[in-house]
Structure 1
Amino acid sequence: MSRFRFWRRWGGLDLLRWSIVLFFLVFLIVPLLSIFLVSLTGEPVNLFGSLVNPAIFQSTVEKLSGASLEGYRDLWEESRYFHALVNSLKLSTGVACWVTLMCIPMAYAFARTDMPGKKWFAALSTVPLVMPTFIAAYAFTLMFGQTGWVNHIWRALGGDGVLFEIKSMLGIILVQVFFFFPYALWPMVAAFKAADGALEEASRNLGAKSGLTFVMVTLSLAVPGILSAMLLVFTISFSDFGTPIIMAPKELNLIVVEAYREIAGFFNWSGSAILTVVMVAVAALFFWLQRWVIKGREYGTISGKPVVTRPVRHKGALAGLMIYTSVVLAVPLLAVGSIFLSSVATTWGHHALPNGYTLRHYATIFHSSTSNIVNSLVLASGALVLSVIIATFISYFVIRRGSAKLDFLSSMPLVVPGIALGIALIQTFNTAPLHLTGTALLLIIAYTIRRMPYMIRSTMGTMMAIRKEMEEASVNLGASPLLAVVTVVGPLLLPGISAGAILVFVTVIKETSITILMAPTSWAPMSLAVFQNLLRGEFYTASAMSILIIAIVVVLQLVARRLTKEQLY
């Protein structure tokens, strides 16, 4: 009887907690460990098979006995790999610096001024987030390619050739700058808002001019937030797969593209494993630096009076900031417009505008690509259900039980680039006893692992606001802890779950790297269909499918904003 009471009181939740730990162990820790071992041995390693098959175990032991760091030494000697790493670091550094410099005036305008139209500018600043990066890259080719409409205008004005070669390092940087800047903009807005306005007032009272006050005081107070945003953009740029796969020329080696080619084109396990480990290490380093910069670094003054910062109302400054913000936002908006024009064009390329307009491309995708649309919705729904279940209980265990282990495990996917996670999962589950590579199940699990942190952060915030007494009252009335979590805590978590669920659904619909690498032909989602259409030269149907993806994402984000009552300005 005592055993029954113990199980009723603790067994259900404890079993669930260890089941979640097992999930991360099987589908995250073991794949990353496997890919690391492959980088040392140069051959595929079947860790799961080694547990059930003596012959596989013996083979694994023999492979591990020959493990060495020779592959990593070859990384420095193999010019192609080394140049890919160096080029990726250069790209990410350039993007991070450009984005930071570009966002400083905009962030200041949103945080410290009464700039006209600030509400609309804030809403338009989310536009880059709704486009998958490979679609954004294609949009830029429509604008700045050899037959792009921008270059048609350029030549009509007397220019020669093209403004710049779009398929180049500069082209990749421009796409990432204009589509990654929101990741830096809003943290920088928060940094400027948090800066103590009393110090600025003191500076001006002592005779400093506005420009000097901004540089020496305002900007200095926002430095921690600015550095954090810069490091975040560096990590995102380094991990981005969609832009380079579309725009990188053959002579420009980038580490994400090289890793993809090694596994998808050459089945070179050793090379792909080494590049994967390097990607994870670099991403983890800069993610840690970003967290380190944030932690405990706030500049301000301590006083007993609340400080009210007066917004800037200088007409010249406001006009300049408004024009500058409009120019920056015009680029992604024109990119979306270019995709739309391509989706309704009969033909386009001989002139700045299409030769004619039609809706037949939309009819084509709804007729021949219905399965891709259904696949996207089914796969995203599967990842959503799995994410909701796991994230809800992780939030409970972390907040209520202080489970540092689960908190660490659930944060690990943030430092693993999508292409790296895909390669690790393919290698680990490519053979028996868990032969899941090429199945929809493994794709759903990959989506879940990659996007679950968004759900967890959303539910954790709501979990903190739920009083523990309500759960305890349910237990005191005879409910088991598991039943109390499901019937009492669960319904109270619905606002956080709803917002996080939509965010997971949206990001899965847009997911590029894992989809292109892992999606089986029979389960090809919309993003893979767009990518394949671009490779086949079916640009107009690719554009129509892209607009459909953008429309779905926009609608879902509007729903999420209504649920969470977000204020972006």
Structure 2
Amino acid sequence: MKKRLPRFDGLTILQWTIFLFFLVFLVIPLLSIFLVSFTGEPINLPGSLIDSRIFSTTVEKLSHASLEGYQSLFGGSRYLTALWNSLKLSMGVAILVTLVCLPMAYAFARTDMPLKKTFAALATVPLVMPTFISSYAFTLMFGQTGWVNHIWRAFGGEGVLFEIQSMLGIVLVQIFFFFPYALWPMVAAFKTSNSNLEEASQNLGAKGWFTFARVTLPLAGPGIVSSMLLVFTISFSDFGTPIMMAPKNLNLIVVEAYREIAGFFNWSGSAILTVVMVLVAAFFFWMQRLVVRGKEYGTISGKPSRVKPVANRGVRTGLTLYTLFVMMVPILAVGSIFLSSIATTWGYQALPNGYTLDHYVTIFSRSSQNILNSLILASGALILSVVIATFVSYFVIRRGSSGLDFFSSIPLVIPGIALGIALIQTFNTPPLQLTGTAAILIIAYTIRRMPYMIRSTMGTMMAIRKEIEEAAVNLGASNLVAALTVVAPLMVPGISAGAILVFVTVVKETSISILMAPTDWAPMSLAVFQNLLRGEFYTASAMSILIIAIVVALQSIARKITRDPLY
């Protein structure tokens, strides 16, 4: 019996084209930076595949590979200190965010707390601000001339409440701007746990606090631990907060990696730190998945179970006030940025000395190119993401392509600064000399944010019955035509929501923009960062408000499409 050869139709060719995209722009850069960490010199893998001379040079470099760089990492150098500081920071933030979110998550899930919808809307505010803008907002609040410290001194305090450029400052910014990532999964965990077990505990005479500690928390445990690990990964990968707030004597791995590549062009150091960042982020991402999938915590029996809201008025009032306090910190941060954007001068008093709209006039006249660049780059990443993510979802669901499913998940565990360094190292020489161009910037944005798109399209794809597509094929359409004319229109809601989210996250992208964007293609986020470094704080604030306004408007549209509070 003859072995049946695989059929190469249009969809198969497209599937292999997407595989090639991931191979060239994700796998090869990661492999390259891994090899550079051993050789200490740039390696041109794409050129090695087509040019025998480059291949010989690469082989010679690999022949001198050593563990010297890794030995220096674990030999008490500043790299090891940076890694240890980053691990302490991320672990501390993960634990503190979990503790901060516990009362709020319980209030959302188990009480008739007033203003729930308002609080849910306020909880999206931290998600719309790039972290380096959040850091600047905290400086306006808690810096030496910040309005909070003006009030503090007016009531008899001395100096400042705390030094903003410190580990504590970084922790506070990340707590108040990362808590939504933990809040909603924890709300879901409290909602899905079986309340009948809690009622049984109380009927047996247990006090409310005992039931909460011994029944409610263990039932919600997987969701809580998963949220903690997620926040750890986000904190560890965050670039915006450390680059703005880390003092000179505080080494953090993301800042060290940026300085090694942008300041010293130290390929060995940047490569080693990139490999370490990817491994750490991947390990904790794997741990997060393991917590969710590794054990069975099911308590749903198939019978309807209605959760009775907590009746204690004191508990409800206390949780409401606590939630209001946490939500107000990001709101005050946005308000501080807005006041700075319309201030003539600010710093000598708690409020600005005067108000003006000249800073907005300035950004639209002087920085209009940065605004246009952001829109063009985000649109390019959006188009590329829509095409790739839509077909990845199709191939994973319809054809069971585990390979594409795996490749499309890799960006979830790669910090932005690590991806940027890998792409710069790989594409800074012929034959694919893309470093410094808009093309590589769009590709980097696409790879970094594509999982958001796939998250949206995958669910929509699963809801489309296969029989609809098969009917078109039976009527004579090819598989590719059926996918484009039948399946694609049905995926429009999921594509629309994912597209908006990709556009939003690209507009506020920090690490890749700062590391990779050339002068001619500097987006708004890079313009804000450069203005802050130059001391042009008021125009930086005006541009920040514009970014926030764009993100808020687009996220509102996404929320209406998906009805998802995380948008």
Using structure 2 for the length normalisation, give the TM-score.
Answer: 0.98
Judged with a 3 Å threshold, the aligned counterparts in structure 2 of structure 1 residues 298 and 118 are, in CA distance, closer, same or farther, namely farther
Counterpart-to-counterpart distance in 1, 2:418 and 2:520: 23
Aligned match for 2:110, one of 112, 122, 143: 112
Displacement after TM superposition at 1:568 (Å): 6.8
For structure 2, list consecutive stretches of 5 or more residues without a partner in the other structure. none
The corresponding residue for 2:297 is 299
Displacement after TM superposition at 1:7 (Å): 12
The corresponding residue for 1:513 is 511
Runs of 4+ in structure 1 deviating by more than 4 angstroms, as ranges, are 6-10
Judged with a 3 Å threshold, the aligned counterparts in structure 2 of structure 1 residues 8 and 235 are, in CA distance, closer, same or farther, namely closer
Aligned match for 2:436, one of 435, 438, 443: 438
Displacement after TM superposition at 1:50 (Å): 1.2
Partner SS state of residue 77, structure 1: coil
Displacement after TM superposition at 1:116 (Å): 0.8
The corresponding residue for 1:526 is 524
Displacement after TM superposition at 1:8 (Å): 13
Counterpart-to-counterpart distance in 2, 1:297 and 1:344: 53
1:349-498 map, 5 Å: 349-498=347-496
Partner SS state of residue 549, structure 1: helix
Displacement after TM superposition at 1:438 (Å): 0.2
Counterpart-to-counterpart distance in 1, 2:539 and 2:76: 40
Displacement after TM superposition at 1:463 (Å): 0.4
In the alignment, structure 1 residue 332 sits paired with structure 2 residue 299: no
Displacement after TM superposition at 1:66 (Å): 1.1
User: Is the CA contact (8 Å cut-off) linking 1:515 and 1:527 kept in structure 2?
Assistant: yes
Aligned match for 1:264, one of 262, 265, 269: 262
Counterpart-to-counterpart distance in 2, 1:341 and 1:208: 51
User: Is the CA contact (8 Å cut-off) linking 2:500 and 2:558 kept in structure 1?
Assistant: yes
Counterpart-to-counterpart distance in 1, 2:294 and 2:250: 40
Judged with a 3 Å threshold, the aligned counterparts in structure 2 of structure 1 residues 429 and 96 are, in CA distance, closer, same or farther, namely same
User: Is the CA contact (8 Å cut-off) linking 2:86 and 2:236 kept in structure 1?
Assistant: yes
User: Is the CA contact (8 Å cut-off) linking 1:436 and 1:442 kept in structure 2?
Assistant: yes
Counterpart-to-counterpart distance in 1, 2:6 and 2:38: 47
In the alignment, structure 1 residue 36 sits paired with structure 2 residue 31: no
AA paired with 2:83?
L
The corresponding residue for 1:250 is 248
**Per-residue CA shift, 1:293-352, capped at 9, x if unaligned?**
011534344645322111113211110000000111111110000000000000000000
Counterpart-to-counterpart distance in 2, 1:35 and 1:209: 57
The corresponding residue for 2:549 is 551
The corresponding residue for 1:55 is 53
Root mean square deviation of aligned Cα? 1.4
Counterpart-to-counterpart distance in 1, 2:464 and 2:294: 27
Judged with a 3 Å threshold, the aligned counterparts in structure 2 of structure 1 residues 44 and 366 are, in CA distance, closer, same or farther, namely same
Displacement after TM superposition at 1:10 (Å): 4.3
Identity %: 77
Counterpart-to-counterpart distance in 2, 1:529 and 1:303: 55
Counterpart-to-counterpart distance in 2, 1:366 and 1:567: 32
Displacement after TM superposition at 1:288 (Å): 0.2
**Per-residue CA shift, 1:29-82, capped at 9, x if unaligned?**
000000000001111001111122222111110110111222111101252111
1:114-133 map, 5 Å: 114-133=112-131
Counterpart-to-counterpart distance in 2, 1:507 and 1:332: 18
**Per-residue CA shift, 1:394-428, capped at 9, x if unaligned?**
00000000000000000000000000000000000
**Per-residue CA shift, 1:109-161, capped at 9, x if unaligned?**
00111001111111111110000000000000000000000000000100000
Counterpart-to-counterpart distance in 1, 2:117 and 2:433: 51
1:126-141 map, 5 Å: 126-141=124-139
Q: Structure 1 stretch 22-31 or stretch 117-126: which is displaced more?
A: 117-126
Counterpart-to-counterpart distance in 2, 1:495 and 1:186: 23
AA paired with 2:101?
C
The corresponding residue for 1:3 is none
Counterpart-to-counterpart distance in 1, 2:299 and 2:113: 27
Counterpart-to-counterpart distance in 1, 2:268 and 2:304: 59
User: Is the CA contact (8 Å cut-off) linking 1:9 and 1:481 kept in structure 2?
Assistant: no
Partner SS state of residue 566, structure 1: coil
User: Is the CA contact (8 Å cut-off) linking 1:440 and 1:519 kept in structure 2?
Assistant: yes
Counterpart-to-counterpart distance in 2, 1:441 and 1:301: 50
AA paired with 2:138?
F
Aligned match for 1:180, one of 178, 181, 203: 178
Counterpart-to-counterpart distance in 1, 2:233 and 2:543: 29
User: Is the CA contact (8 Å cut-off) linking 1:122 and 1:568 kept in structure 2?
Assistant: no
Counterpart-to-counterpart distance in 1, 2:76 and 2:536: 36
Counterpart-to-counterpart distance in 2, 1:242 and 1:523: 20
Counterpart-to-counterpart distance in 2, 1:554 and 1:446: 23
For structure 1, list consecutive stretches of 5 or more residues without a partner in the other structure. 1-5
The corresponding residue for 1:535 is 533
AA paired with 2:287?
L
Counterpart-to-counterpart distance in 2, 1:171 and 1:29: 36
The corresponding residue for 2:141 is 143
User: Is the CA contact (8 Å cut-off) linking 1:176 and 1:243 kept in structure 2?
Assistant: yes
User: Is the CA contact (8 Å cut-off) linking 1:8 and 1:480 kept in structure 2?
Assistant: no
Q: Structure 1 stretch 297-306 or stretch 158-167: which is displaced more?
A: 297-306
User: Is the CA contact (8 Å cut-off) linking 1:9 and 1:480 kept in structure 2?
Assistant: no
1:57-96 map, 5 Å: 57-96=55-94
Counterpart-to-counterpart distance in 2, 1:358 and 1:271: 46
Counterpart-to-counterpart distance in 1, 2:461 and 2:112: 35
User: Is the CA contact (8 Å cut-off) linking 1:123 and 1:568 kept in structure 2?
Assistant: no
User: Is the CA contact (8 Å cut-off) linking 2:126 and 2:330 kept in structure 1?
Assistant: yes
Aligned match for 2:213, one of 192, 212, 215: 215
- How many corresponding residue pairs? 564
AA paired with 2:283?
L
Aligned match for 2:43, one of 42, 45, 54: 45
Judged with a 3 Å threshold, the aligned counterparts in structure 2 of structure 1 residues 89 and 304 are, in CA distance, closer, same or farther, namely closer
Displacement after TM superposition at 1:265 (Å): 0.2
Counterpart-to-counterpart distance in 2, 1:303 and 1:489: 35
Displacement after TM superposition at 1:566 (Å): 2.7
**Per-residue CA shift, 1:449-471, capped at 9, x if unaligned?**
00001101100000000011110
Partner SS state of residue 418, structure 2: helix
Judged with a 3 Å threshold, the aligned counterparts in structure 2 of structure 1 residues 64 and 567 are, in CA distance, closer, same or farther, namely closer
User: Is the CA contact (8 Å cut-off) linking 1:96 and 1:230 kept in structure 2?
Assistant: yes
AA paired with 1:564?
T
AA paired with 1:544?
A
Counterpart-to-counterpart distance in 1, 2:512 and 2:296: 37
Using structure 1 for the length normalisation, give the TM-score.
Answer: 0.98
AA paired with 2:374?
S
Partner SS state of residue 116, structure 1: coil
Judged with a 3 Å threshold, the aligned counterparts in structure 2 of structure 1 residues 283 and 568 are, in CA distance, closer, same or farther, namely closer
